[in-house]
C-alpha cells in the first residue's frame, strides 16, 4: 500500500464535505461489516450513511438537532449490518452536557431508540446484534465517583412492564477524578487464530497487567459492615490527626477514605467455566489523575450478555458493591486512541508518554505529555506488549485540551490520525511507515474497509472525509474491461 493516492472517483466520492465549526469532537466514519456502506458523524449534528461504490453516494442523513443534540461523534454497525449505533453530545437542563446514543434501522432509516450516555466520551458499543453498552456517572465526592455500565436492548418497545430493556453490567469505583471512557468489546473466541506476524527470536514483551488475580478477595467481598468500620477507624484516626500529618491534602484524604470504604464492598472477578465463550469489555480509566492513563479490562460472561433477569428495581442488595477489574494495563502516559485487530486479539493504543520517572502529586495536575504519539501493541491473551512502539505521528495539544484520535487496524496495516495534518499507514508486521496522507487540518480518525484493506477513509477538522486507495487497486479499477463480442460477429467467424 506504499505511496497511497486518493481514490480516482468523482470529487463527491473522494472528498466528502462536512460542516466545520464547534469544538473538536473527533468525528469518525465507520464501515459496515460487508464494506458496502459507511456512516459518518459531524459537527453539523447529522449522521450520514453512504453507499460505498466507485462513485460514493449519500443514502441517508439523520439530523439529531431536534433531539437536543449538540453534535454527533461516533458510529458503529452491528454484526449483521441491520442497525447503526450513533452517539453524540446531548444538551440537558441548565446547559449540562452529557451523551446520548441513538439506534437507527438500516432497513428504513427509522430512529428506533435513544439511550442516555454519561460522560459522552464513553461513546458506546455493540455487545450483541441487538444489545449495546452505555455508561452513567455518579459523583460521590470532589474527586471520587462511580461509573455504571449498562446493557440496553436496541428495541425498547415492549408489551409488558416485567420485561427488561436495560440491565446493569458493572459498577466500578473511580478515584482521583478519573472516569471510564471509550468502551469497546473484544471477542475471546477469535484469539486462537492470531493474524499478527511476530519475531520468534524477540524477547518476551513487558507485562503491564496490574489486575488482581482474585486470591484473597473472597473475604473482602463479604458485606460485613462491622468489620469494615473497624478497619476504617484505625487508619482514619491517623489521617485526621493534623498534628501527625499537617501536610495531608484534602484530596489525598478523600481518595484514601474511598479506597478503604471500597475494600469491603468490591466483588472479585467471576471466573468463566471451561469452554465458555466470553468477551472482554475494554475501556480507558486511571487511578492517579483525570488523564486516562490505564486500560481497564473486564470479562463479560455468557449469562451477562442478556437483559433477562430480575426486573429493574429488584435485587437491590447488590447495589452496595463495586466490581473489581480483571486486568489493568498502565501505559504511563495519556491515552488518546484505541483500536482492535480484525482477530480481536491485539489492542493498538495511541499514547502520549509522561516524562520518565514522573510522579503525580496532584490528580488535577497530570504530568506534561510528549508531542510524539507512541502506537503500542498489546496481546489481550497474554497481557503483554508484543511490538515495539510505532512512532511517526505527532500531537500538540496539552493535557487539559487533549482529544481522542481514532485509529484502525486491518489484516496487514495499521492507520492513525494525527494533529500534524496527516493520516499515517504502517505495515503492522514489520513496523514500517508506508504513507502520509495529507489534509489541511487535524486528522481525527481513520477507518479501513473490512472487505478491502487497501481502501481507507480519513476524517479531518478541515471539514472533509477523504477516500484513499493504493496504486494497485487504482490500476485494477481503471483497467479497461474486455468488451463482449456480439453474437453475430462470433457466428460469422465460425462459418469461415
Could you read off the pLDDT of 106-125 as tens digits, one per residue? 999 999 999 999 999 999 99
In 309-383, the DSSP E strands lie at 322-323, 327-330, 333-340, 346-353, 374-379
Angle at 55 between CA 51 and CA 58, to 5 degrees: 35
Closest CA to 62 of 80, 84, 77: 84
pLDDT of residue 13: 33
Q: Which three cell numbers stand for residue 92?
A: 440537558
Angle (deg, nearest 10), helices 250-263 and 225-239: 160
**pTM for this structure?**
0.84
pLDDT of residue 318: 53
Compute φ and ψ for 133, nearest 5 degrees: -105, 135
Could you say which residues of the chain have pLDDT below 50?
A: 2-13, 19-26, 200-201, 212-236, 239-240, 242-248, 313-316, 319
pLDDT of residue 54: 77
Contacts 24+ apart (CB under 8 A), 57-65: 57/12, 57/13, 59/109, 60/109, 62/86, 62/102, 62/104, 62/109, 62/111, 64/88, 64/102
Structural element, H or E, at residue 427: strand 422-427
Phi-psi category of 447—alpha, beta or left, where left has phi over 0 and alpha has psi -120 to 50? beta
pLDDT of residue 84: 98
Closest CA to 84 of 50, 120, 116: 50
Q: Which residues of 263-286 are buried (b: 16+ CB within 10 A; e: fewer)?
A: ebbbbbbbeeeeeeebbbbbbbbb
Structural element, H or E, at residue 475: helix 471-478
Amino acid at each position: 500500500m506504499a505511496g497511497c493516492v486518493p481514490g480516482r472517483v468523482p470529487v463527491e466520492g473522494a472528498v466528502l464535505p462536512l460542516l466545520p465549526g464547534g469544538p473538536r469532537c473527533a468525528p469518525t466514519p465507520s464501515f459496515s461489516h460487508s464494506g458496502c456502506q459507511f456512516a459518518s458523524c459531524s459537527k453539523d449534528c447529522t449522521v450520514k450513511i453512504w453507499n460505498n461504490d466507485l462513485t460514493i453516494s449519500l443514502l441517508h442523513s439523520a439530523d439529531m438537532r431536534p433531539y437536543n443534540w449538540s453534535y454527533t461523534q461516533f458510529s458503529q454497525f452491528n454484526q449483521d449490518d441491520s442497525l447503526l449505533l450513533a452517539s453524540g453530545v446531548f444538551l440537558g437542563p441548565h446547559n449540562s452536557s452529557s451523551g446520548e446514543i441513538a439506534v437507527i434501522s438500516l432497513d428504513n432509516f427509522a430512529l428506533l431508540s435513544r439511550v442516555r450516555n454519561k460522560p459522552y466520551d464513553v461513546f458506546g458499543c455493540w455487545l450483541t446484534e441487538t444489545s449495546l453498552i452505555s455508561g452513567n456517572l455518579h459523583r460521590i465526592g470532589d474527586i471520587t465517583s462511580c461509573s455504571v455500565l449498562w446493557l440496553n436492548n436496541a428495541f425498547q418497545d415492549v408489551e409488558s412492564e416485567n420485561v427488561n430493556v436495560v440491565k446493569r453490567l458493572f459498577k466500578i469505583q473511580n478515584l482521583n477524578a478519573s472516569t471510564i471512557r471509550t468502551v469497546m468489546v473484544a471477542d475471546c473466541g477469535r484469539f486462537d487464530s492470531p493474524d499478527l506476524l511476530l519475531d520468534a527470536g524477540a524477547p518476551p514483551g513487558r507485562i503491564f497487567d496490574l489486575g488482581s488475580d482474585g486470591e484473597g478477595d473472597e473475604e473482602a467481598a463479604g458485606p460485613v459492615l462491622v468489620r469494615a468500620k473497624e478497619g476504617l477507624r484505625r487508619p482514619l484516626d491517623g489521617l485526621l490527626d493534623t498534628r501527625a500529618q499537617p501536610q495531608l491534602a484534602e484530596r489525598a484524604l478523600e481518595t484514601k477514605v474511598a479506597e478503604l470504604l471500597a475494600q469491603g464492598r468490591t466483588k472479585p472477578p467471576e471466573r468463566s467455566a471451561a469452554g465458555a465463550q466470553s468477551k472482554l469489555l475494554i475501556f480507558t480509566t486511571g487511578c492517579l489523575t483525570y488523564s486516562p492513563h490505564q486500560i481497564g479490562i473486564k470479562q463479560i460472561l455468557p449469562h451477562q450478555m442478556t437483559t433477562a433477569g430480575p426486573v429493574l428495581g429488584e435485587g437491590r442488595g447488590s447495589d452496595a458493591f463495586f466490581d473489581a477489574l480483571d486486568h489493568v494495563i498502565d501505559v504511563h502516559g495519556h491515552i488518546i486512541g484505541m483500536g482492535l485487530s480484525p482477530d480481536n486479539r491485539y489492542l493498538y493504543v495511541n499514547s502520549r508518554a509522561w516524562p520518565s520517572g514522573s510522579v503525580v502529586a496532584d490528580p488535577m495536575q497530570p504530568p506534561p505529555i510528549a508531542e510524539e504519539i507512541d502506537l503500542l501493541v498489546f496481546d489481550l491473551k497474554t497481557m503483554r506488549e508484543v511490538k515495539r512502539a510505532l512512532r511517526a505521528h505527532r500531537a500538540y495539544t496539552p493535557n487539559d485540551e487533549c482529544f481522542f484520535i481514532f485509529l484502525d487496524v486491518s489484516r496487514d496495516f495499521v492507520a492513525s490520525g494525527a494533529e500534524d495534518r496527516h493520516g499515517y499507514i504502517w505495515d503492522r508486521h514489520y513496523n514500517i511507515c508506508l504513507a502520509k496522507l495529507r489534509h489541511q487540518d487535524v486528522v481525527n480518525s481513520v477507518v479501513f474497509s473490512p472487505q478491502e484493506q487497501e481502501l481507507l477513509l480519513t476524517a479531518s477538522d478541515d471539514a472533509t472525509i477523504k477516500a484513499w486507495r493504493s496504486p494497485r487497486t487504482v490500476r485494477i479499477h481503471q483497467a479497461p474491461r474486455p468488451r463482449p463480442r456480439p453474437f453475430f460477429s462470433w457466428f460469422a467467424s465460425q462459418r469461415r
